[in-house]
Structure 1
């Protein structure tokens, strides 16, 4: 297992221009898990006022990859993922909570539950994702 800090994970996230645009931040990182939060704002919603599905997919993809990075090392790439939208996402914050299900030498399988959190702190599950993350280290 690779020991990376929460601060170094946030630096990697900040190096992604799209992550800065969305305003994402890593709030938990380590031991096979990661949490990525995005504050909901109008620019991230679709025509009905719900958080856009692309933002949920972005959050799942990054949370999956960061969680896998805690077990595979910092050099990782998403191999693929699927997402199921459970209900429309609205609230103050989107929280993507990823946990490694299995790690091998070259890949990890990771699950991510996405919740919205409202102003009172109530959490609502809005999507579930699962993906495979690959080590980008040379074989």
Structure 2
């Protein structure tokens, strides 16, 4: 079996683009599983003061990609080919947490499930659930 991608790759990926701008941080990572946290900020909210659905979906997608990528051989990264999210409740907490698990990873396709939770100091509740299919592609040279 090939050597899997190192955890440092996930840190590199989240230090660019949307993840960096939004303030996403990795709370936990192991092969096939990741937990991402995104703190509440006014620019991430919709009109009623809850996390915007697009932000929730983006965090879920990022988590799925990291979960699948962490099970791929070095030099490969998972990119989204299909993604579905169900919004279950408003995300009105101080942060949202995406927990993803790669449930099947093959040579070219990986599938992950994602649960997103809204959390404040007293409670945590599920606000979204999703699935994602990722295709393994060559890692861009900038991330090698």
1:55 is displaced (CA, Å) by 0.5
1:27 is displaced (CA, Å) by 1.4
Q: Is the 8 A contact 1:65 1:133 kept in 2?
A: yes
Return 5+ residue gaps in structure 1 as ranges.
none
2: CA distance between counterparts of 1:106 and 1:137?
11
With normalisation by structure 2, the TM-score equals 0.87
In structure 2, the residue matched to 1:91 is 93
Aligned length: 135
Q: Is the 8 A contact 1:116 1:126 kept in 2?
A: yes
In structure 1, the residue matched to 2:135 is 134
Other structure's SS at 2:21 match: helix
- Relative to 1, partners in 2 of residues 1:80 and 1:40: Cα closer, same or farther, differing over 3 Å? same
**Aligned runs of 1:14-33 on 2, under 5 Å?**
14=15, 16-33=16-33
**Aligned runs of 1:11-90 on 2, under 5 Å?**
11-14=12-15, 16-73=16-73, 74-90=76-92
2: CA distance between counterparts of 1:118 and 1:75?
33
2: CA distance between counterparts of 1:9 and 1:83?
22
Return 5+ residue gaps in structure 2 as ranges.
140-144
With normalisation by structure 1, the TM-score equals 0.90
1:137 is displaced (CA, Å) by 3.2
The CA RMSD over aligned residues, in Å, is: 1.6
* CA distances 1:100-126 after superposition (whole Å, capped 9, x unpaired): 111111111100000011122x11100
